[in-house]
Each structure stands twice: as structure tokens, then as C-alpha cells.
Amino acid sequence: MSIDQLWQERAREFWSVSRRYITLMANSGLMVAIGGIVLIIGIYYNSFLDWLPSTFPVVQVLAVLFAFMLTKTSVRTFFQTGDLVYLLPMEAKMNHYLQSALRYSWFMQSIVLALVLFLLGPLYTDRIGEFNQLLITFLILIAAKGWNVFAYWSELRYQYVSQQWKLRWLRFAVNLVFVFFVFMLEWLFVLAVGVVMILLLFGYYRPLHEKYRLKWDQLISLEEERLNSFYTFANAFVDVPHIKARVRRRSILSNQWNRLVTKRSNTYVFLYGKTFARSGDYFGIMIRLAIVGALLIYATPEDLQGLAVVIAILFTYITGSQLVTIYHHHKTMVWPELYPVPEQVRQQSVQSLVRNVMVIQSIWFTIITFITSWSIFYSMIALFMMLLMVIAYVKVQLPKWFKQSLRALS
């Protein structure tokens, strides 16, 4: 395989893997989520336009939004760790490969631009200009995206990230002025800024390619980050085996467990508490369920309050049943097996964490029912039933679950 075909080969590989994930995601809730969002937008769009006061600075907001979208650029190089050894000697012959990468990135990011512009189309024709002008705006934005992809790619030649960021802010400023004129329909100024941008392209960005070499390390880690963020997104819908949840410090939350007394019975309260707070999976799922459950309760019609009670109980239950897998989180670790701490203590710690999180979720849903102006009676019924379920789950279901998992292990 020649180096010129390599990029196509890698892009194809990436898409065949992605397609499989996208199919899986589509089967497990992504389509429902997208459909739901589109439906909500469709229902509320017109009333949103009517509601939006005429003094609202539409042009300024759109200018900032699109300047941001133009500036935030990426280049899919499909570089891999091994390339540091195998492609490095080919650097001089990689023009074709890299052009493919730039073209592809331009195309993909233009699609995103087009989608957002399409969504904002009604707002544009309502407040800014004609449909024809929208079309011209679209073409100009695509061209500007191309400029940004090339400029960004040139910025990456600088060794220091701080230098790159300086240039990125500068680029944002240029984009902001440019887009502002586009939405002001000041075509002459657009042309003037456009000429400046072209001059920059040839006078400043292009020469960087002669002056500096590719920064392979950075490009490879950027590519890894991008792949990871795709898999992390996919992981929200389907189980991606090789994705490791990123650990975040989350000081305010995780410091709560610093107040524990340093003694044996707290060993697993500490370990699982910190894990809950910092590992992306658990706290994130709790928050997502809290938001989705709250929206559903809020949206339930008034005469169906019984259904909302069921929803509240169901979402509290799901919160617990998702969280309990934290028990297996450290199963590849040798330490829990070596600690002189009885297994029972470990199970109790998991139980109390699950219970506390479920109770917090119950209280949150009860607060939502108050906001939704339920009768106090129904709110109290909901709270009571949720707490009853929590007790049943933690006291009856969990011990069985522990026994089963231990049997499965041995």
C-alpha cells in the first residue's frame, strides 16, 4: 500500500468501526433522544420566536456562536502511536495524506455548520435577512471553515501549546469581526476582511509549513483524544469495552469523604465514595437520570399524576441498580483481596452508598413534584413510596445480588 492510499484506508477502517457503534447506539436510545430533541424544537420553535423580544441582540449572539464554531476546528489525521516509528521517516512524502485529512475535516465540520445554520434558519429569516442571503451566508461560512482548518493546521506547527492558544484567540477575533459583518449584511466589509484573511493565509500561515516540522507527538495525542471523546460519547449508549472512564478530581464532591475517621470500618466507605465521586460512570449516570426523570415528571399531564409517581419510583430504582455495579469496579485489583477487612464490611459500605444516593434521588424527585405544583398529598405519597422501594431494594434485593455475584466469581 502506498502512503497516498493509507489515509483512505484508515478513514474506511474508522468508519466501519464507527458504523457498527452508531448502529448499536441507534438501537439503544440515541434515536429516541435525537427524535425527542427534534420534536421539542419543532413544537416550541415558533412560540420561541414570538417570545424572543425584538430587542434581543440576534446578530451579536449568532456572530459569537459562529465565530466559536469556526474557530473550534480539528483535523482528523488518523495518526496512531506506531506512526512515530513507521511514518516519521516518510514525513516529506506525506503531502497527499495530509491534504486528504484537511479536506475530510473541512467537509465534516461544514456539515455541522450547515446543520446549525439550518436549525437557526427560521430565526435568520425572521430577524436578519432574506432566504437568498441565508444561502450566501452558508457558502461564505463554508469557505471560512476551510480557511480555519488550514490556519489551525498551521498553528499546530508551533511546538508550545501556549503559542498555539495565542494564535487561536487571534483567529477567534478575526472570525468574530468577519461573521459579524456577514450577519450585518455588510458585504463590502465582508469582502475586505476576507481579503485580509487570504493575505494572512499566504503571508503568515503558509510559511509556517516551511519553517517548522510536524509535531508528531502532539498530533498523535490529539487524535487519541478525539477518538476517545467519540468512544466516551458512544459509551453513554452502549458498552464500549476498551474505554476507561476518565477520572476527574471533583474536589467539592469527593472531599466530602475526607471527613471520615481513619479506621478499618471506613475503608470501603472511603474507597467507594471517592470512586463514586470521581469515576465518570457513576456520578454522571446519577445526574443524567436525575435530569431525565425530572423532565419526565415535569412534563406529565396533571391528570396522570399516578403515572408520574411510577416514573419517580422507576428512576430512583434505575439509579440504584446502575450504581450497585460499583461493587465490581475494583475487581481487577489485588488489594481488596489482601486487606484485613471482612467482605461483609465491604458489602455494607456498598449498601450504604447505594442507599444514600437513592434517598438523595428520591428527595430530588419530590422537590420536582413540588415545583410542578402537585398537591402536597401526591408529593408525600410519591416520597413515601420511593423510600419504601429504597428500603426494599437495599435490604432485600442487594444481599441476594451480592451472593449471586460472589457465586459467579468463584
Site string for another protein, 269-308 (x = CB under 8 A): -xx--xx--xx-----------------------------
d(CA 296, CA 291): 9
**Among 242, 259, 263, 407, which residue interacts with another protein (rule: CB under 8 A)?**
263
Q: Under the criterion CB under 8 A, does residue 247 sit at the interface with another protein?
A: yes
List the beta bridge partners of residue 279: 247
d(CA 77, CA 74): 9
**Among 77, 267, 361, 362, which residue interacts with another protein (rule: CB under 8 A)?**
267
Contacts of 330 (CB under 8 A, 6+ apart): 271, 275, 336
3-state secondary structure (DSSP) of residue 63:
helix
Q: Under the criterion CB under 8 A, does residue 331 sit at the interface with another protein?
A: no
Which region, judged by CB under 8 A, interacts with another protein, from 125-133, 212-220, 333-341, 375-383? 333-341
**Among 92, 188, 334, 408, which residue interacts with another protein (rule: CB under 8 A)?**
334
Q: Does residue 390 contact residue 362 with C-beta atoms inside 8 Å?
A: yes
336-355 binders of another protein (CB under 8 A): 337-342
Which region, judged by CB under 8 A, interacts with another protein, from 22-30, 164-172, 263-271, 396-404? 263-271
d(CA 68, CA 47): 27
In the complex, what is the shortest distance from the CB of residue 339 to another protein, in angstroms, rounded to a whole number? Answer: 4
CA angle 35, 36, 40 (to 5 degrees): 115
Site string for another protein, 74-113 (x = CB under 8 A): ----------------------------------------
- How many other CB atoms are found less than 10 A from the CB of residue 170? 14
In the complex, what is the shortest distance from the CB of residue 272 to another protein, in angstroms, rounded to a whole number? Answer: 9
- The residue type of 179 is V
Which region, judged by CB under 8 A, interacts with another protein, from 163-171, 260-268, 293-301, 365-373? 260-268
d(CA 221, CA 156): 12
Give the phi and the psi of residue 373 in degrees, each rounded to 5.
Answer: 50, 50
In the complex, what is the shortest distance from the CB of residue 48 to another protein, in angstroms, rounded to a whole number? Answer: 42
d(CA 400, CA 405): 9
In the complex, what is the shortest distance from the CB of residue 195 to another protein, in angstroms, rounded to a whole number? Answer: 47
Give the phi and the psi of residue 75 in degrees, each rounded to 5.
Answer: -125, 120
Q: Does residue 313 contact residue 387 with C-beta atoms inside 8 Å?
A: no
186-245 binders of another protein (CB under 8 A): 244
Residues touching another protein, count (CB under 8 A): 25
Binding residues vs another protein (CB under 8 A) = 244, 247, 249, 260, 262-264, 266-267, 270-271, 274-275, 278-279, 330, 333-335, 337-342
